[in-house]
Structure 1
Amino acid sequence: MEKQIINIDPEILGGTPVFSGTRVPIKNLFDYLETGESIDYFLDDFEGVQREQVIKVLEMSHKLIETSSSIFV
């Protein structure tokens, strides 16, 4: 069984998707990457998030885009 990567709980930040075991929104990762910051810089700022979690979220996002490409047409 895979470890849960993303947690969505109405009691944590009103249900905003966060990295499991933290209160760090997934959106923060994409905000950092969008502005050109590195994964290492993100991890330095959010010590509770593990590199493996970041990689898994990026892999999940990639897979979602690949399988949903028809919605972008």
Structure 2
Amino acid sequence: MNTLTRSSLAEVVWVDTDRLSGEPCFRGTRVPLRLLFEYLQAGAPLGEFLEAFPTVSERQVATALQEAQRLLLNALTDEACIDRRVP
């Protein structure tokens, strides 16, 4: 699995509290990350998202999805470790 660093995520995501109420967006755009997950949740193919938002690159999307996967798997692993503890 590709290990991402904070700097690689910072290359594709930005947050500015004065823009879009501080919602995380793809760097260099005003496209919120949330929209990517909404498209995918609705069953839309990734290509449809990229067509709808041409200012977002495929590399940005791939990095964001890899980081989301890493965070989710880490959270699930942490949760599983908590469940295994003996009271």
For residues 32-43 of structure 1, the aligned pairs below 5 Å read 32-43=39-50
What does residue 28 of structure 1 align with? 35
**Structure of higher RCO (CA pairs closer than 8 Å, 6+ residues apart):** 2
Cα distance between partner residues in 1 of 2:39 and 2:26: 15
Q: Any idea what the Cα deviations from partners look like across 1:30-62, whole Å, max 9, x if unmatched? A: 000000001100000001000000000000000
- Matches of 2:58 and 2:19, distance apart in 1: 22
Residue 11 of structure 1: CA displacement?
2.0
Q: Which runs of 5+ in 2 are unaligned?
A: 1-6
Percent identity, aligned pairs only, is 32
Q: Distance in 2 between matches of 1:66 and 1:55?
A: 16
The number of equivalent residue pairs is: 72
Distance in 2 between residues matched to 1:28 and 1:54, nearest whole Å: 11
**1:8 match:** 15
Looking at structure 1, the residues matched to 13 and 65 of structure 2 have their Cα atoms a distance apart, in angstroms, of 12
- Relative to the length of structure 1, the TM-score reads 0.90
Runs of 4+ in 1 over 6 A off after TM superposition: none
Provide structure 1 residue ranges, at least 5 long, that are not aligned to the other structure. Answer: none
User: Could you state the TM-score of these two structures normalised by the residue count of structure 2?
Assistant: 0.76
| Aligned residue identity for 2:43 | G
